DNA sequence: CCGGATCCGACAGGATACTG
DNA sequence: CAGTATCCTGTCGGATCCGG
């Protein structure tokens, strides 16, 4: 079955569809998921680098969100046994693919803004 | 400027991009937004019909979410001056367009599931 | 029928200090 | 450097009752 067919298929079942949407939603909702993924889209990062690139995030939140993203299979944690020890975070292939979803959201936002303008 | 060009344009500015994503995110995140939009995708509905179609939602939450969705320009509230008075909710054009975003999220979910399978 | 008002618990997220 | 531990606050959402 092609992936397009799979999409058409799941659209016939509202419950499954909503659940699938929620899966994706869990990966990008919350205050910090998006900034983290956005930063990692530019390339792998160390903990400290992430903390510096994302304004105002505390180590507690960064640690917590990274763990969730790793559990969700969106971020990979790499430990290099050098001296000193080096830890880097990077997006998985799925993590990179989220860009498509984000693009569609931005496109909707632009369309929506145009639509609202028309109404006024 | 074409809309595709507008998307390419906004992608050059990370801050704007993240803000635009958040706009779309605000419309679909939360516990009830998705079920409400999903129900209205099938056609206009009265308050009571929505409450019956969406399991376990209280009138308070339904009212609150409908107001937010209306403010965001995603749902329209129609009052018909018949006797008895009739009120119906329906999606705006922007509201219908969200389907594209949801589809891309489901597609990502399917891809992601396949990707995770490969890894195991 | 279509909600509003009030009260309440749970949890996301923040501040600060500390550790291997 | 890469996180934990503790404490605290605010917002989300639920329960219940009330009004036009």
Residue pLDDT, tens place only, A16-33? 888 889 999 999 999 999
Q: At what angle do helices B93-119 and A93-119 cross, to 10 degrees?
A: 180
Contact between residue B22 and residue A105 where contact means Cβ atoms under 8 Å apart = no
Distance CA A110, CA A90 (A): 29
pLDDT at B15: 80
State the average pLDDT for chain B.
94
Q: Which bases of chain D come closer than 7 Å to a protein CB?
A: 1-6, 12-17
Q: In angstroms, how far is D15 C1' from B59 CA?
A: 11
pLDDT greater than 90 at residue A102: yes
Q: What pTM value is reported for the model?
A: 0.94
pLDDT, tens digit (0-9, with 9 covering 90-100), for A45-59 = 999 999 999 999 999
pLDDT at B102: 97
pLDDT-derived band at B1 (thresholds 50, 70, 90) equals low
A103 token code pair: 């693009």
**B63 or A5, which is more confident:** B63
Strand D reaches within 7 A of the A77 CB: yes
Nucleotide nearest to B58 (CA to C1'): D14
Count of C-beta atoms within a 10 Å radius of residue A76 = 16
Distance CA B64, CA B32 (A): 10
State the average pLDDT for chain A.
94
pLDDT greater than 90 at residue B91: yes
Strand D reaches within 7 A of the A84 CB: yes
Instruction: Read off the pLDDT of each residue in B29-51 and give the average, rounded to a whole number.
Output: 96
Quote the DSSP letter at residue B80.
E
> What residues in chain A have their Cβ under 8 A from chain B's Cβ atoms?
3, 6-7, 10-11, 14, 17-18, 20-25, 28-29, 34-35, 38, 73, 92-94, 97-98, 100-112, 115-116, 119
> B73 and A105: CB-CB below 8 Å?
no
Q: How far is CA B52 from CA A39, B18, B56, B62, in A?
A: 43, 36, 8, 11
pLDDT at B86: 95
pLDDT at A6: 92
Distance CA A5, CA A21 (A): 17
Classify domain A31-119 at the CATH class level. mainly alpha
Lookup result for tokens 């939603």: A25
């Amino acid at each position: 079955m092609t992936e397009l067919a799979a999409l058409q298929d799941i659209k016939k079942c509202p419950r499954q569809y909503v659940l699938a949407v929620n899966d994706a939603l869990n990966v990008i909702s919350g205050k910090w998921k998006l900034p983290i993924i956005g930063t990692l889209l530019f390339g792998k990062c160390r903990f400290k680098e992430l903390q510096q690139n994302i304004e105002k995030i505390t180590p507690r939140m960064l640690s917590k969100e990274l763990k969730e993203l790793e559990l969700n299979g969106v971020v990979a944690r790499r430990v290099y046994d050098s001296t000193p020890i080096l830890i880097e975070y990077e997006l998985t292939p799925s993590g990179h693919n989220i860009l498509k979803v984000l693009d569609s959201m931005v496109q909707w936002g632009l369309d929506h803004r145009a639509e609202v303008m028309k109404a006024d």
